[in-house]
Structure 1
Amino acid sequence: MKNWKKIIILSVIFVVFLAAFIFLKGNLSKTDNGIESPSPTDVASSDEIKLIDITQEDISKIVLKREDGEIVLTKEERYVETLETNDDGTTKKVTEKKKVWVNPSFDVDNDLVEDVVSAAATVMTKRLIDENPGDLTIYGLDKTLITTFVSTNGKEVSIEIGNLTPTQDSYYVRILDMPAVYTIDSYKGKTLRYGKFDLMNKNLYGTDALSAEDITSLSFKRSGEEVFSAEKRTSSADWVITGPIPEREANISEFSKFLNWVSSFRVKEFVEENPSDLKHYGLDSPKYVFEYTLDGEMYRVMLGNKNDSEYYGMMEGNNTVFSVDAINLNFVDLPLKDLVSLFAYIPLIYDVEKLVIEIDGRTDVLLINESQEEGTTPEFHFNGQKIENDEQEKRFRKYYQGAISIMGDKIDLDSVPSGEAAIRLTYTMKKAEPDKIVKVELIPTNDGYGYFIVRNDNYTGLVIGERKLHDESDTGIRKAYENLVDALAKTE
């Protein structure tokens, strides 16, 4: 009985406490006028406001007030040229009319301005920090960094953007002429803080409709010394090195690295306008200089000091120092030897009707009758003997390969060859393009290293080592001769 009394008393006490809790909770959630106050989640969401009440499509003008001046961006219709890829992999230039962002004093990166517009149209505040701050310096809002957006119907919204918060994940911001300070997402804050250097087009050509095919001349200097000058032949689109070595075909696999870079390089960052001290950037005496003709326009790009993973650079006619990624310039120290074709002469066998090889005191005559036309049968003669079977034909071709495989292994532009040729190869071509007869001579060097390579009485600037002519592979000229003679002897 006593236990039941205790249970009843405890139950009454519990009910009293529960009723008191419910009563107090209800009164605490009301203001003086009896209206319920929001829950904690509602309080948090009240910090979120749409900062700029203009849609992305309606923004037609942006004014950036920065410490170094004011920038006005407007959206206008312009003709824009781009490259379009065809089904076969080739490209063609396409021009279309588009609305793009422009500024009268510099070329604008339209995509980056669109990022600013997108950020403006979608940015929401994260937190209300201070409704009426007394000291704006603690938020970085005393520096008059103001971004103004203007709609097509004339509506303007201006925001002041301050510093990053201590946690680095937000920027302080407020609407112009309104005291309350909020925070916004750091990415959008950074975008809305963009200045001139951020929005300048990092494509200095001002168009994407360019490729290496549009380059017609290119020269390159390293530390003040000419590495090469080159031109593209209009008839064949082949590149030839015209200096300082006597004219030679370019080694396109390496040379194309220069073509690809100058036609497509992009600025990484703009550094300084109208620099007073070029020496600071190494641009008073540039380390690398590219001079080239691209789409009919002459350009000169200079690269100076290397700073970590970047080079400082300038383009002639554009007095702004910029940086470019060094990783894309890993070809600039290539020697001339790697940029030219080192072959003495390398015609296709289809284009040759006769080859005379004078070597080791003998003269070999190779008569060639071969065509690329379908259904034709090749016919070869060696020193008057007709090539009869597959093995002989194989060895004949290897000997021909040995002749056209003669190539320099170094460049010597200081020497002047003299004396008699130790080896001579005389090609008679089917057509004169431009020469009907092409004569390659190897004249011994004075130091015993090997031979100067002379073509049609003109020194090529190439030198071949003696050891190269004793190559024991089946396309080494001496070894190939031995193999051909052996194959012919087996049928006698």
Structure 2
Amino acid sequence: MRSNIRNLIIVAVCIAVLGGALLTLKLTGNDQAASSSVSSTASIELVSKKSEDVVSMNVVNQKGSYTLVPVKTPAASSKASSGSSSAASGGTEPTYTVKELGGCPINTSSTESVVKNGFSLVASKNLGTVSNLEEYGLKNPQATVKVQFRDGSSYDYKIGRASATDSASYYMCGLDSDHVYIVSVDQGLLESPTYFVSTNILAVNNTAASSASGASENNFTKITLSGSNYPKPITFSVYQTGLKISSPANYTADSSKLDSLKTDLATLTADSVEAVNPDADALKKYGFDSPTAVAKYTVNGADYTLTAGAKDGADYYVMLGGVNVVYKVASTSIQSWALGNLFDLRDKQLVGANIESVKSITVDAGSGENVLNVTRTKDEKQSTEDKAYYNYKVTGNGGKALDYDTNFRNFFVKLVNINILENAEEKPSGQPVLTVKFQYYDGAAADTFEFYKSGDRRYTAVVNGQVFGIVTQDDMDSVTAGISALESGKSVS
């Protein structure tokens, strides 16, 4: 009973002394009533303040120094976010930023956590006055924290090594005190300023447009890819209702690759932050003097630039235009725009015509032209005000009637199934071994497909005078056999 009374007296005296000391909110060495005996309790509140009372929190640790200050939370914005992971909630809780990192996207969840846990430390154990601060890692502390409050008072302390009994807790004492407590601290107190930079590089959302399902769809109107990985820059421009490759030549884009490209340009998260406000030497170190790839694009009416610098293992250094931060990003996250190539981004289907738009097909396989003429008559019964339906007939050489519904359709499938196997840039000399010409209804421009022998069982396809790529002997054989069967009235499989 005497022991319990003694402990209660010690705690009461400590609280009284701390109450006087913390009236100025400084942990000092003047608490003479605190003995060297150890006391413990489930929770010892060392200071009583609120978040909004904090004017600044300065931290100096083994990784650097920083100052957290409150800022007015901006009103919710419809613009794309390029960093901050915490938005205004409309409440009274302040948002904090890092004073030294002006202009950088800050993870306000991390700053808020450090401030809340840093100015209102709660001790799990009171070790009392100790004779040797070095024993607790407090002579050369891991961190020194100085908190300034609106009323002019301060709360200053230092963090030593991890507790001998709990590696998640640390020894702590006032800045000019040898009275030691065991406290839990936020990891951010021991980190460098870059710890607070948001790793959310980009999150573009089109709030002005919604699909039928209610989900927003980003409106890309131009994408240009350049850099050392693209000796010839690639540009995607608006064509009809979507994007088409317009430079270095006109190509239809691979739809799945284009979708991946747009997804990766709209959302990007880093694995880590490597540097903040890098100078010219640092930019060169990270490969931004000769970047691997640069993506410049316009989406939802706003312009963006993403740059991939040097490679580091399986990752790349990446920067977002207007944000002076070097991030490290997994290569898989930037594969679509930084590590692709023109051929990879192209649609490999050579003939993209719709059979219902075809007016005629002329096939010259070297033994003379085969002309297939398609006539159509409007189906008055099926047609509506919004859509016209047609009945089709096809004739071959000499006006001979041919089967449209099966044989002609199957032959057309053989043409549209010709796929580019690999890239080609030069047109072979000589004459084409196969030429296919398309004419269309509704005023669409005609297309001419020429195929030149360019290797063993390989042919170079040239579309309207532009080299498109390499196709196989099997494709050529399928077309020549098909036109022969069609013209002779035989079945076309």
TM-score (norm 2): 0.71
Deviation string 1:414-440 (CA, Å, 9 cap, x unpaired) is x2343322222222222345x2x2222
Provide the residue aligned with 2:266 in structure 1: 263
Specify whether residues 36 and 195 from structure 1 end up closer, same or farther in structure 2 by C-alpha distance, changes over 3 A only. Answer: closer
Instruction: Flag structure 1 segments of 5+ consecutive residues without an equivalent.
Output: 1-25, 38-42, 85-94, 471-475
Deviation string 1:137-187 (CA, Å, 9 cap, x unpaired) is 7425635834455667666544433443465322333354544333333xx
In 1: Cα distance, 2:332 partner to 2:261 partner: 14
In 2: Cα distance, 1:32 partner to 1:283 partner: 64
In 2: Cα distance, 1:138 partner to 1:430 partner: 87
Q: 2:140 aligns with which of 120, 139, 142?
A: 142
Q: 1:440 aligns with which of 449, 458, 463?
A: 449
* Pair member with larger Rg: 1
Q: How does 1:121-200 map to 2 (within 5 A)?
A: 124-129=122-127, 131-132=129-130, 134-136=132-134, 138-140=136-138, 142-143=140-141, 145-148=143-146, 156-165=154-163, 168-185=167-184, 188-200=185-197
In 1: Cα distance, 2:58 partner to 2:205 partner: 30
In 2: Cα distance, 1:34 partner to 1:118 partner: 30
**2:326 pairs with 1:326:** no
**CA shift for structure 1 position 363:** 0.6
Which amino acid is 2:167 matched to?
Answer: Q
Provide the residue aligned with 2:459 in structure 1: 451
Task: Give the 3-state SS of the residue equivalent to 2:75 in structure 1.
Answer: strand
Which amino acid is 1:477 matched to?
Answer: V
Q: How does 1:281-430 map to 2 (within 5 A)?
A: 281-286=286-291, 288-295=292-299, 296-307=302-313, 309-315=314-320, 318-331=323-336, 332-359=338-365, 361=367, 362-367=369-374, 369=376, 376-383=389-396, 384-386=399-401, 393-413=405-425, 415-430=426-441
Instruction: Flag structure 2 segments of 5+ consecutive residues without an equivalent.
Output: 13-37, 81-86, 207-216
Is the 1:215–1:292 contact (alpha carbons within 8 Å) kept by the matching residues of 2? Answer: no
Specify whether residues 229 and 327 from structure 1 end up closer, same or farther in structure 2 by C-alpha distance, changes over 3 A only. Answer: closer
Specify whether residues 265 and 168 from structure 1 end up closer, same or farther in structure 2 by C-alpha distance, changes over 3 A only. Answer: same
Q: 1:466 aligns with which of 470, 473, 476?
A: 473
Provide the residue aligned with 2:479 in structure 1: 477
In 1: Cα distance, 2:289 partner to 2:431 partner: 49
Is the 2:225–2:235 contact (alpha carbons within 8 Å) kept by the matching residues of 1? Answer: yes
Deviation string 1:38-93 (CA, Å, 9 cap, x unpaired) is xxxxx87526313452345x355442333544424222031343489xxxxxxxxx
In the alignment of these two chains, the number of paired residues is 427
**2:51 pairs with 1:46:** no
Q: Relative contact order, CA 8 A, sep 6+: which one is greater? A: 2
**CA shift for structure 1 position 279:** 5.8
Specify whether residues 343 and 101 from structure 1 end up closer, same or farther in structure 2 by C-alpha distance, changes over 3 A only. Answer: same
**2:198 pairs with 1:201:** yes
**CA shift for structure 1 position 482:** 6.2
Is the 1:130–1:180 contact (alpha carbons within 8 Å) kept by the matching residues of 2? Answer: yes
In 2: Cα distance, 1:48 partner to 1:200 partner: 32
Provide the residue aligned with 1:63 in structure 2: 57
Provide the residue aligned with 2:22 in structure 1: none
In 2: Cα distance, 1:261 partner to 1:35 partner: 62
Provide the residue aligned with 2:24 in structure 1: none
Specify whether residues 34 and 330 from structure 1 end up closer, same or farther in structure 2 by C-alpha distance, changes over 3 A only. Answer: closer
Identity value in percent:
13
Specify whether residues 353 and 156 from structure 1 end up closer, same or farther in structure 2 by C-alpha distance, changes over 3 A only. Answer: farther
In 1: Cα distance, 2:9 partner to 2:128 partner: 27
Q: 1:107 aligns with which of 98, 105, 108?
A: 105
Provide the residue aligned with 1:232 in structure 2: 237
